[in-house]
Amino acid sequence: MSLLPSSITHLFLDAGNTVVFVNMEAVSRALARHGVRLSPEELWRGEHRARRAIDTPEVIRVTDDATRWKAYFDAILRECGVDRPEAAVPSLRELHDYHQRVNLWEVVPPDVPPALEALRRRYRLGIISNSNGTVREKLHRVGLGPFFDPIVDSFEEKIEKPDPRLFRIAMERAGAVPGRSAHVGDFYYVDATGAKAAGMEAVLLDPGGVHADKPVRRNAALAELLE
């Protein structure tokens, strides 16, 4: 568990798997329609391991969203022991279509709103997300939009993390300065390295405890920033 320096005034968060999470119920149902049977709990256990497998500079450099989508879910299926990932292709196509229209990262765990309420009393909160243009509407749809100003979506800015320019855009809109700003996200080579390059403090959300070798503050959940 890591706490932030007392000098921090602005806290920026990633959206996906930081404040809103993959709808694994929907993923499980879509897979089952095509003969791949995995529970949401099994999928999450696989996701935690898969996150490390794809958290590499090589995967991060891929600029095609569809390729990254496939790499993410292929890695989850591998970690869940699926021997024939091609059987899941129709399911992943359905899910990707839904994501492009609505955003599959749409589940808010019950501990997130109270954590954000407490964090908002201490910091000004913002969002910096590699997304597809749907993150602002999605956050308002699930009731989290009012917590954040600004909400910076890479699709709208035509810049993606880890490019430090996206972090600087968010700080400028919030009236923040690097030395008093921090960013929390779930990928080391996207979130932590980009935040550090922009001069910010960085925290890596690591619920599976798979990134102990990374030179960064790590927490299992947002609430740990308050303890």
172, exposed or middle or buried, with CB in 10 Å at 0-12, 13-18, 19+? exposed
pLDDT at site 113:
97
In order along the chain (227 residues), what is the average pLDDT of each group of 10 residues? 87 96 96 94 94 86 74 92 81 90 93 96 96 93 97 95 97 97 96 97 92 92 88
The amino acid present at 120, given as its one-letter code, is R
Long-range contacts, 80-85 (Cβ 8 Å, 24+): 80/38, 80/42, 80/43, 80/45, 80/46, 82/36, 82/38
Q: Are strands 21-22 and 151-153 parallel, antiparallel or unpaired?
A: unpaired
The model scores a pTM over 0.75: yes
Residue 199 has a pLDDT of 98
Instruction: Report pLDDT for 64.
Output: 66
Domains annotated for the chain, with CATH where assigned, are 10-20+108-226 (3.40.50.1000), 22-104 (1.10.150.720)
Say what the pLDDT of residue 70 is: 83
pLDDT of 99-148, one tens digit each?
888 889 999 999 999 999 999 999 999 999 998 899 999 999 999 999 99
Length of the chain in residues, anyone? 227
